[in-house]
Amino acid sequence: MTDQYAVIGNPIGHTKSPLIHGVFAETTKQDMAYSAIEGPLEPEGAFAEVVRAFCVSGGKGMNVTAPFKLEAFAMADERSERASLAGAANALKFDDGRIVAENFDGIGLVRDIEVNLGVSLEGKRVLILGAGGAARGALLPFLAARPAEFVIVNRNTTKADALIKDAGASGSVLACAYGDLETMGRFDLVVNATSASLTGNLPPLPPTVFSPGSTAYELVYGKRLTPFLRLARNAGVRGIADGVGMLVEQAAEAFAWWRGARPQTRAVIDRLTVPLD
């Protein structure tokens, strides 16, 4: 019998996940089907009912996208360390009626940067904008890559400080406000983990954080040259990227978790890439 998987979100019409996992299944010769489910926003508890119904019907796993990552985490019976730090799940596995929660966003991001872009993080100065769910999910994978310094900038430094405390991080991990960046010098990697680019906005980021040898990474994908990437390019940055590689890499991690086979990602990334111009 063909194993059933799905992605759940709302809205869901834009999702690339069925295409991505369809290619993965074909290339790894897995007998599985993958669909998209538009989850209900109300009433309270309706999302959990849909997930449990999919599980009871024989579903093997689900990807979870906005706005349900917090609910998916809350309803799980078991949670990984990454998911626990993020307080959110982007993948679920159903194991004998139990729901196991994972978060592959951060590990997908780091893999895209280090493997696909060829940018080693070891010994580098890294700046991440925002202290929300995306930053929380990325913190542990970034620290595992051993940067020399990891700085979280946020309008609310209390939120950034809390993230560092929750992770048990210290030493080379710092929190600051945007106004502090004027005196902090240049960074090797700057990651925009805020939602500002979704609305065409830009965090109050001074261009002095960039150098021509920096890499600027935008988590939003498919928006071409966002205000953040434009700021970086105007500052002379040669290495700019959006989040399409992260999208595919986190999907590959979930696929390997479910199926025990890690697919190749390069061809899928190339297929989904939108030129940054």
Q: Which residues are catalytic?
A: 69
Q: How far apart are CA 197 and CA 195, in angstroms?
A: 6
The closest alpha carbon to 189, from 172, 167, 205, 209, belongs to: 209
Residue 162 Cα distances to 106, 136, 192, angstroms: 18, 10, 19
**Phi and psi at residue 171, in whole multiples of 5°?**
75, -100
Q: Which helix (H) or strand (E) holds 8?
A: strand 3-9
Q: How far apart are CA 220 and CA 183, in angstroms?
A: 28
**Phi and psi at residue 183, in whole multiples of 5°?**
-110, 10
Q: How far apart are CA 75 and CA 68, in angstroms?
A: 11
The set of residues, in sequence order, having a beta carbon less than 8 Å from that of 269 and lying 6+ positions away, is 116, 244, 245, 248
The DSSP code for 263 is: P
| Residue carrying structure tokens 């449990």 | 52
Q: How far apart are CA 7 and CA 16, in angstroms?
A: 10
The closest alpha carbon to 265, from 107, 64, 59, belongs to: 107
Find out whether the peptide bond into 43 is cis, omega within 30 degrees of 0.
yes
